[in-house]
Amino acid sequence: MIEDRVLIAGAGPVGLVAAAQLVREGIPVTVLEAGNELSVESRASTFHPPTLDMLEDLGVARQLIGEGLTAPKLQYRSKKDGVIAQFDFGEIADRTRHPYRVQSEQFKLTRILLAQLHNDSNFRIEFGARLENVAQDADCVRVSLRIDDREQIRTGRWLIGADGARSEVRRSLGVEFEGFTWPERFLVLSTPFDFDAVMPDLVSVNYVADPECWQFLLRIPGMWRVMFPIPQDVSDTAALTTDFGQSLLRRVVPGITRFEIAHTTLYRVHQRVAKQFRVGRAFLAGDAAHINNPLGGMGMNGGIHDAVNLTSRLVAIYEGRAADHELDRYDAQRRLVTLESVQTQTIQNKRDLEAKDEASQAEFRDRLRGIAADPDARKRYLERVSMIASLRRAEELG
């Protein structure tokens, strides 16, 4: 028997936002999650203004904001020149209900969403259910799962593959993940060290350009996260030692003998986009569809934008307001916007911070100072970095 449900692989931020959007419109959903519980990994922690608007529509923004930290300002520095430019999201208060970023770990969002979803009879979640294969015909999609070492089948009308960067849905559909992997890895050190006390004018989001070792300082509740690039000739083991972490933090604030390091994450960074976001009754969203470097905080946000775009179309189909080709527009809009905006912007952010020669460093400095000095350019810039521009672009694509 075919169940008239939407199946969602993955209970990350993207899968659960998709579930919340569908369930609130009365559409039955089953989320299939490989883990035995929600992930509590320290990963994305930035929510951009339009994402907060979407989460407010789902009734979860207030709690997320309450558990996080609001960051209205964004700053660029260079090791050599100090503060180059600063931007204030307050300037685009006419474009969003949330003219600030919120710094809050992504596991807080998934926890809040799951608590809300549990109250709805249209919602089911199966933990310990790893999707292994996808098959489909004209009427339904059939997924094979591995549960307690046994194969089980679930059927539904549609499938959303929100199962992360190593998506089994993507693999099973045979969709290529085009792009490249950066040679360096990124190391994130979380520390309660009081950077404000020693770095005047610091705001909650600070990018520091340095040809030798750029840094990204991000305040989260009770902690700073500091990100560094790790060159190829440093092994994972060496990069994860305390001494190495201390030496990196001393690049930010020289002269400190010992920083408290609460958490360390080392990871590979990719720029990849799936060749298709739709194959028949199955869709890819979030990291399953695209991954990028975290400079700009666009990965999870872009994924949430995918989820909202796709589910609004599925709702229209369920309600008989749209025909099947409506779903092709999800692929057309979100894939193009990912390539044009998210990939381009995050690659540019990295190149700006690591610029090696004086000419490129000067170009970055002058470009930013030029934008900061011009009110219209400043607004356009803020719309771009907050991802308002990419959402508008998707709409314009029709």
Chain positions contacting ligand FAD, by CB under 6 A: 9-15, 32-35, 39, 43-46, 106, 130-131, 162-164, 168, 265, 267, 286-287, 294, 297, 299-300, 303
Nearer to ligand FAD, 39 or 122 (CB): 39
As measured in angstroms, the least distance from the Cβ of 10 to ligand FAD is 3
CB of 31 to ligand FAD, least distance (A): 9
H/E segment holding residue 127: strand 123-127
CB atoms within 10 A of CB 228: 23
Nearest residue (CB) to ligand FAD, 91 versus 126: 126
Minimum distance from CB of 2 to ligand FAD (Å)?
20
Nearer to ligand FAD, 11 or 365 (CB): 11
The least CB distance from residue 56 to ligand FAD, in Å, is 19
Residue among 99 and 303 whose Cβ is closer to ligand FAD: 303
| Start-to-end Cα distance in the chain | 36
> What is the C-alpha separation between 393 and 398, in angstroms, rounded?
9
**Residue position matching structure tokens 């608007």:** 53
State how far the alpha carbon of 38 is from the alpha carbons of 125, 325, 369, in Å. 11, 34, 43
Structure-derived torsion over alpha carbons of residues 261, 263, 264, 270, reported in degrees to the nearest 10: -140
Name the minimum Å distance from CB 326 to ligand FAD. 23
**Lookup: tokens for 134:** 């996808």
Q: Chain-centre distance of CA 2, in angstroms?
A: 33
- The amino acid at 40: V
- Closest to ligand FAD by CB, 45 vs 333, is 45
- Whose Cβ is closer to ligand FAD: residue 48's or residue 365's? 48
167 DSSP 8-state letter? -
Least distance in angstroms from the C-beta of 385 to ligand FAD: 13
> Which of 134, 368 has the CB closer to ligand FAD?
134
For ligand FAD, give the closer residue by CB, 78 or 349.
Answer: 349
Give the largest Cα separation in the chain, rounded. Answer: 68
Measured in whole angstroms, the distance separating CA 189 from the mean position of its chain's CA atoms is 19
Nearest distance from C-beta of residue 344 to ligand FAD, angstroms = 16
- The angle, 0 to 180 degrees and rounded to 10, between the axes of the packed helices 388-396 and 299-318 is 40
Phi, psi of 56 (to 5 degrees): -65, -40
> What's the min distance (Å) between Cβ of 307 and ligand FAD?
8
How distant, in Å, are the alpha carbons of 159, 318, 356, 392 from that of 327? Answer: 12, 12, 44, 18
Q: Is 273 left (phi over 0), alpha (psi -120 to 50) or beta?
A: beta
